[in-house]
Structure formats: C-alpha cells, structure tokens
C-alpha cells in the first residue's frame, strides 16, 4: 500500500486547542502500525499560523503544515477548546466550509461541535458536544439537532464526540467504519482501551467509592469467551449472583447501557470479525456469535453497519485491501 493511496487525515489546530484530543487523534490515525501490516492513514497536523499556542499556554506548536493542507484532506478533524465564546479565525472556518463543500469527512471532538456549527455545516444535522455546554450550544445554534445523552454521533460525513475521553470512542468507530472490526479492535488493543458504543450515556452520576468495588470486568470477560452460548440477561445475572434488576443498574452505572444492548453489540462485533476472517457460511457465523439464525444475523448486521453479510465480507474481508473513500 503506497503512501499516496492512504486516506489523508488532517487535524486542524487553532489557538487554545486542547492537547488531549489532539493526542487521541494522533494515537488513532497517526501512529505507524506494523502489527496490522502497515499504515492505514496519512496523518498530518496543520494550522493557520506558524506558531500555535495550545490551551492555557501549556506549550506551542511550530513546524506543522500550513492551513492549505485541509484542501487536500479526505478527513478533517476540526479544532476544539474550552473557551467556546471566542470566535474561530475566519480562515479556519473558511477552510472547513471548503472541505465540506468538496465532500471531505469532518470530525469534531468535545467542543469541536462549536467550530463546526460556527462554520455553518451543522445546520439541520445531528451532533453532540460536552454535556456541560449543551444548553449554551442550543442557545447559539438552534438549527442543529443536538443529542446530549450519547458518547458520539455519526451523521455520515460529519461525526462529533462528546467529552474529551469520547474521542477515544469515536476514533476506533471511524477505523471500524473504514477498515472493519478487526482493525478497530487492533487499534483499541494497542490503546489498551475498551470500545464503548456511541449510544451510551456520556455522563454517569456515580461517586468515586472509598474502596474499590466489584467491577463488571470479570463478567464481561467471561461473556466474551462464551458468546456462542444462548446467554440471556438472567444468565449474566446468575453468573455474578445478583438479580437481573441489580445487574441492569450496574450496567447503567458502569457502562451507561443495558445488559442486553451490550450483549447484542458484542455478538455483532464477533460476527463482523468472523466475516472479515473469511467465514462465508452465515449459519456458522450466527451460531458462533450467538445470534442464532442467519436471518437474525442479517437483520442486526444491517442495523449496525448498513451492510448485508455478503457486502460486509466483500468490503472488509481478507484480501479486500479496501481503503476508505478518497476525496477528489
């Protein structure tokens, strides 16, 4: 795979940008990946100025690409910062508008939704931002359909993540969309970070305990080793000797989702990985992933990925060497 054929991702940095989200983008899209046979993205940083002062003056960035790098990008990660009242540079907003007009994919982490909305590309679209700024966002950008109780929103060519850590949820989601579940799992494994679905709550009211309490981690690990079994929520509850209602509360508290939703998501992910590895017998995939029947597999896979099993295998299966769409 040549450097010229790689999907080009450009992270746009502006004055006051948060370094954490920039680090997340670099970890997901910018690292060399010999463990998966080579790089999958051509990643660059760019700025409208030669020197960019990051959040609170922690450090300055110099020597990165000029702003016109956005004009060659297939995916643009827009800048975000804690001071959402300060307008962006007009040149930055113009660059985002040009990228959107020619079909580039746009990504906003945390307060990056404000940047996208300021550029006018979110009107009539779905998006999310940090829960702390939700009311302020709605007051300024009433034409945007803001979803406040999710980790990230995938609205096709525009994707937004909620709080800072949600950047680590959206990043692997983009990799999965581009390269399949196996590649996304490899990225998450290197990050030592477990995948969380975008529909999970972005903020969970849970006080930090004085002493470590029992985590769901052992149960989750056990379930992942036994996905071929016809497990129910009652089975999960029985494994940890609690009632289904108690298990439901613990899932809500720790993961922001329900046991059934999590279990279904794990089954679909395993089904995707089996298809990517070359398994063509849908009955086998359905049985090994615990989805039961080929019909159920087709229904859930289309709901989660928008593709039939055949389309998914053709797109992400071994030997496909598929690259995400490039923008002409």
Q: State the pLDDT confidence band at 316, using cuts at 50, 70 and 90.
A: confident
72 pLDDT above the threshold of 90: yes
Q: pLDDT by residue (tens digit) across 96-126?
A: 999 999 999 999 998 899 999 999 999 999 9
Q: State the pLDDT confidence band at 197, using cuts at 50, 70 and 90.
A: low
* pLDDT score, position 225: 93
Furthest-apart CA pair in the chain: how many Å? Answer: 60
Pairing status of strand 105-109 against strand 126-127? unpaired
Residues 6+ apart with CB under 8 A from 73: 8, 9, 10, 44, 99, 104, 327
Distance of CA 135 to the CA centre of its chain: 24
Are 161 and 167 contacting, i.e. CB atoms less than 8 angstroms apart? yes
Both tokens assigned to 186: 């490899």
Q: How many other CB atoms are there within 10 angstroms of residue 46's CB atom?
A: 22
Phi (first) and psi of residue 98, to 5 degrees: -65, -45
């Amino acid at each position: 795979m040549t450097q010229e054929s790689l999907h080009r991702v450009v992270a746009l940095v502006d004055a006051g940008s948060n370094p954490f989200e920039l680090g997340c983008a670099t970890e997901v899209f910018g690292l060399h990946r010999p463990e998966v046979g080579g790089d999958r993205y051509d990643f660059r940083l760019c700025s409208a100025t030669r020197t960019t002062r990051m959040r609170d003056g922690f450090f300055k960035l110099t020597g990165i690409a000029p702003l016109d790098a956005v004009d060659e990008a297939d995916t643009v990660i827009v800048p975000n910062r804690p001071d959402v009242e300060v307008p962006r540079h007009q040149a930055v907003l113009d660059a985002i508008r040009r990228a959107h007009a020619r079909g580039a994919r746009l990504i906003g982490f945390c307060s990056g939704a404000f940047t996208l909305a300021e550029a006018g590309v979110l009107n009539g679209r779905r998006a999310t931002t940090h829960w702390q700024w939700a009311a302020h966002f709605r007051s300024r950008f009433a034409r945007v359909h803001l979803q406040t109780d999710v980790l990230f929103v995938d609205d096709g060519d525009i994707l937004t993540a909620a709080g800072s850590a949600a950047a680590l949820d959206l990043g692997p989601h983009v990799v999965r969309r581009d390269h399949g579940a196996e590649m996304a799992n490899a990225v998450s494994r290197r990050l030592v970070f477990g995948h969380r679905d975008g529909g999970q709550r972005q903020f969970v009211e849970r006080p930090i305990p004085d002493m470590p309490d029992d985590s769901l981690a052992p149960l989750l690990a056990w379930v992942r080793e036994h996905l071929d079994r016809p497990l129910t929520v009652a089975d999960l509850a029985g494994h940890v000797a609690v009632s289904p209602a108690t298990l439901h509360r613990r899932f809500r508290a720790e993961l922001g989702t329900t046991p059934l939703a999590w279990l279904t998501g794990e089954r679909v992910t395993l089904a995707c990985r089996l298809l990517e590895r070359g398994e063509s017998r849908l009955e086998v995939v359905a049985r090994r992933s615990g989805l039961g029947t080929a019909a159920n597999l087709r229904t859930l896979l289309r709901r989660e990925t928008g593709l039939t099993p055949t389309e998914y295998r053709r797109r992400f299966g071994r030997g496909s060497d598929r690259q995400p769409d490039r923008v002409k």
